Amino acid sequence: MENPGVNLSETNGTRLLITISIFLALSWVAVTLRTYTRAYLIRSFRTDDWIMLIAQVTFTIYSGFLYAGLEAGIGRHNAAIEDADREVAALKWQALAISMYIVLMLLIKLSIGFFLLRITIHMTAYVRIIRASLALILISSAVVFFWNIFQCIPVEKQWDYRITYGQCVQPNEIVVVAYVMSAITIVTDFFYALIPIPMMWKVKMTIQAKVTVVLILGMGIFASVATILRIRLLPTMANLDDVLYAGTDAMIWTIIEAALAIIAASLATIRPLLRVLRVRGFESSDSCENIEGLDLQALEPRPDRQRRFLQFYGINDMPLTHDTRPATIFCFHHDDTKSQHVQLDDTGREP
């Protein structure tokens, strides 16, 4: 029914479309640089890299759902869509996008968590705290994901208002769950952004590298700011009669939040690429260093029985792991025009 107090010609669709396009492109640039650095440059593509790549694909699917929803009517007032089938289609794409968003944020947090576990391998207290946070994120995300899917019985009643049987949760319950999820997101965002500060000073890294990593991971706080700004828009989700229009602003901030998290986590791994490109401030000294910048002369031999191997990350560190795959070392000299590749043996020394 047409609401005389609403301008049916107005739309938020254009702003949503622009936001999706810009941040999807930026996130792909960041993830591509990360993938190139980790998989090709230092040949050390690990669990957190795979998860982030899957997260980026998920972000693309999420964006695809919103693109389809925009075509059907997301961003317009529900009353402005005269075709019931078209309105139902828009509501369906919106519902699918919300479910995909929950999965997306889970994957991003898992990737960042595994990334931090890499540099805390001998810091038992930090390892336990990070693992506990990952367990909290995994459990809460799973609960919210299934609650979101089955908030209506039958499920399709969530978007098809023409179904007269079955039941759905109350609108205020949707808002409460959104508040809870936002609170968990904010806490974990700040946790993952701030915990590297005390951790970095216990890792064998240059001061410049430590500051760089802390600042880059600190960019995750901006993602949390997006979540905070979105909180004030959550009550609009209770407006089910005009959710296609009212919920658009909240969706814009979810896109910004996810993209900033992906970009920050990916930039934290491309230091080796910056070093190879001789970017000012990231050059090596005359000594032979790994791609992360640690002087090989500082390496101490490890007992053969431990079979530990030096593993490299995109943040200028070399924690010990039980991984025995070869790692690539890059040596730079001021009078050289090319880098030299050196392979370490299973004791962490040059053969």
Same domain, 92 and 66: yes
Please determine, for residue 86, whether its predicted confidence score (pLDDT) is greater than 80.
yes
| Cβ-Cβ contacts under 8 Å for 88 (sequence gap 6 or more) | 159, 160, 161, 162
Same domain, 191 and 94: yes
| Cβ-Cβ contacts under 8 Å for 52 (sequence gap 6 or more) | 31, 34, 107, 108, 111, 262, 265, 266
pLDDT band at 98 (very low <50, low <70, confident <90, very high): very high
pTM over 0.85: no
Which is more confidently placed, 156 or 233? 156
- Domain assignment present for 1: no
Cα separation, 225 vs 235, in Å, equals: 18
What is the pLDDT at residue 91? 93
**What CATH number corresponds to the domain at position 126?**
1.20.1070
Which of 205, 235, 269 terminates a domain? The answer is: 269
Please determine, for residue 40, whether its predicted confidence score (pLDDT) is greater than 70.
yes
- Domain assignment present for 6: no
Cα separation, 191 vs 180, in Å, equals: 17
Which is more confidently placed, 318 or 343? 343
- Domain assignment present for 292: yes
Same domain, 103 and 167: yes
What is the pLDDT at residue 204? 63
Question: At how many degrees (to 10) do helices 47-72 and 248-267 cross?
Answer: 160
What is the pLDDT at residue 202? 63
pLDDT tens, 103-149?
A: 999 999 999 999 888 877 677 888 899 999 999 999 999 999 999 99
215's tokens: 């600042």
Counting other chains too, the contacts that 167-171 makes at CB distance below 8 Å and 24 or more residues apart are 171/237, 171/238, 171/239, 171/240
- Domain assignment present for 4: no
Same domain, 306 and 239: no
Cα separation, 69 vs 96, in Å, equals: 10
216's tokens: 């880059």
Q: Which of 14-28, 76-90, 106-120, 201-215 has the lowest mean pLDDT?
A: 201-215
Q: Which of 42-56, 71-85, 313-327 has the lowest mean pLDDT?
A: 313-327
Cα separation, 97 vs 95, in Å, equals: 5
What is the pLDDT at residue 276? 81
Which is more confidently placed, 286 or 73? 73
Same domain, 255 and 309: no
- Domain assignment present for 62: yes
Q: Which of 75-89, 108-122, 145-159, 310-324 has the lowest mean pLDDT?
A: 310-324
Same domain, 320 and 242: no
Q: Cβ distance 197 to 183 under 8 Å?
A: no
Same domain, 164 and 41: yes
Q: Cβ distance 201 to 317 under 8 Å?
A: no
- Domain assignment present for 67: yes
Same domain, 107 and 171: yes
What is the pLDDT at residue 303? 40
- Domain assignment present for 223: yes
Same domain, 158 and 19: yes
Q: Which of 44-53, 91-100, 222-231 has the lowest mean pLDDT?
A: 222-231
What is the pLDDT at residue 304? 40
Same domain, 161 and 114: yes
What is the pLDDT at residue 72? 92
pLDDT tens, 249-290?
A: 889 989 998 998 899 889 888 878 877 887 665 555 444 444
Which of 246, 269, 292 terminates a domain? The answer is: 269
Counting other chains too, the contacts that 68-75 makes at CB distance below 8 Å and 24 or more residues apart are 68/93, 69/93, 69/94, 69/97, 70/13, 70/16, 70/17, 73/244, 74/13, 74/16, 74/244, 74/248, 74/251, 75/11, 75/12, 75/13, 75/14, 75/15, 75/16, 75/17, 75/244, 75/245, 75/248
- Structural domain range at position 199: 13-269
Cα separation, 204 vs 298, in Å, equals: 10
What is the pLDDT at residue 241? 78
- Domain assignment present for 154: yes
pLDDT band at 319 (very low <50, low <70, confident <90, very high): very low
Q: Which of 48-62, 228-242, 259-273, 282-296 has the lowest mean pLDDT?
A: 282-296
Which is more confidently placed, 102 or 235? 102
Which of 218, 246, 269 terminates a domain? The answer is: 269
pLDDT tens, 150-187?
A: 999 999 999 998 999 999 988 888 888 888 888 888 88
Same domain, 289 and 224: no
State the average pLDDT for the chain.
77
pLDDT band at 218 (very low <50, low <70, confident <90, very high): low
Same domain, 260 and 291: no
Tell me the CA distances in angstroms from 239 to 82, 186, 199, 222, 281, one per residue in order.
19, 24, 45, 28, 51
Number of domains into which the chain is organized = 2
What is the b/e burial string over 84-120, where b = at least 16 CB atoms within 10 angstroms of the residue's CB?
eeebbbbbbbbbbbbbbbbbbbbbbbbbbbbbbbbbb
Q: Cβ distance 151 to 168 under 8 Å?
A: yes
